[in-house]
Amino acid sequence: MITGALAAFAVIFLTVSTVNFYRAVNTASGSGEHSESIISFWRNSRNENSESLQAESIINNGTEKKLEILEDTIAEYFWQDVDEKTLEDGLYRGLLDALDDPYSVYYTSEELIALQEQTEGIYYGIGAYISQDLNTGYVQISKIIRNTPAEESDLMQGDYIYQINGEDMQGKDSTYVVSKIKGEEGTSVVITVIREGVSEPIDISVERRKIESPTVEYEMYDDGIAYIQITEFDLVTSGQFEEAYQRAKAEGMKGLIIDLRSNPGGNLSTVCDIARMILPKGLIVYTEDKYGKREEYTCNGDNEIQVPLVVLTNGYSASASEILAGAVKDYGIGKLVGTTTYGKGIVQKVINLSDGSAIKLTVSSYFTPNGNNIHKIGINPDVEVAFDAELYQQGTDNQLEKAKEVLAGMMH
């Protein structure tokens, strides 16, 4: 499944809000007159909402005039015809881009639908996880899902998505990238990737198919060691986890490994629901906004785990994954094995606009039960072990084997 992450869908979603939005762009009239100027949005919004605007609003006569000049100049001199809706959306994207926050973005109505599909766990795509690489400005394929079009293609974990159908993806939010990869079932998308060790970009055509996100995988190993992998925290994930967890108990679980490697995050309520199945009574996580307003997410402790626990993490474990890993570490109910997590300690809120578009804003920081904010720091494992790609190609997951070893020691 394609996920945005590390916006991106390394994003933690809060409850969606809706605000009214005065749409000012009309279709051209039957007389052939030019459609209403795109800058009329600013004027109408200002006139109809003047009481709610700040005294120092950027929407003023000066900015309106400048926008008119820019629009007229583009219409007269730009070498190609310009779609007004594209220009309008560009205005809104520009406001969010000016925040210099890769996680705060504007969504068209089409992009918002794609985002909603993503969080629900059912969509038409290719079957790969992606994460945001802030150093390069590109998103990177962090994992390929088994039995999907992505696995059947030549895409590889670690590939950087350079272009989609010829459009450069540098600087694009991962959710935007996702919206370009998804499409109608049976159609194809050309993904151009940059691959380490290869001098030229590679064009790869992948067919889109229906992907029902298998966000949880379960296996029972020898000696009662249960293994549950969570690939992301979609709305379907808590139910899938509970089913796997109850199955593990029924099969005589004596110890549990929760694998959060390459899990880019997801829904805040989902990770809290899962945390309530294993944590003791107390805080799961709390958030604070710029005004110091604090919101706490708690657990009653009725379902505290009764067997030894190991959590696997890596550098792609982000956001909601770090909430769960951080709580496990703070309460001392298990050990973390692997490598340091991604380090995303901020929360985004999706705000719907009444025309069907939306914005996603970073609204707060989150803190582990002990008060740690891990943004741009990550969470260090208790037992550090780097991933060995050579061994993995030979069929051995050295990090998982270490987790089994650590868990076995805790069980005796």
Q: Give CA separation, 400 vs 102, 226, 338, 407, in Å.
A: 32, 12, 9, 10
Report residue 81 as tokens.
């015809």
From the list 319, 321, 357, 364, the catalytic residue is: 319
283 and 335 Cβ atoms separated by less than 8 Å: no
From the list 348, 357, 364, 399, the catalytic residue is: 348
Report residue 88 as tokens.
């309008």
**DSSP SS3 for 367:** strand
Distance from C-alpha of 95 to C-alpha of 190, rounded to nearest angstrom = 30
157 classed as catalytic: no
393 classed as catalytic: no
Phi, psi angles (nearest 5°) of residue 362? -75, 120
H or E stretch including 352? Answer: strand 346-353
178 and 118 Cβ atoms separated by less than 8 Å: yes
- Look up residue 37 and give its DSSP letter: P
344 classed as catalytic: yes
From the list 344, 349, 360, 402, the catalytic residue is: 344
The two beta strands, 202-207 and 209-212, are unpaired
* Residue 309 CB-half CA count within 13 A: 24
Active site residues: 319, 344, 348
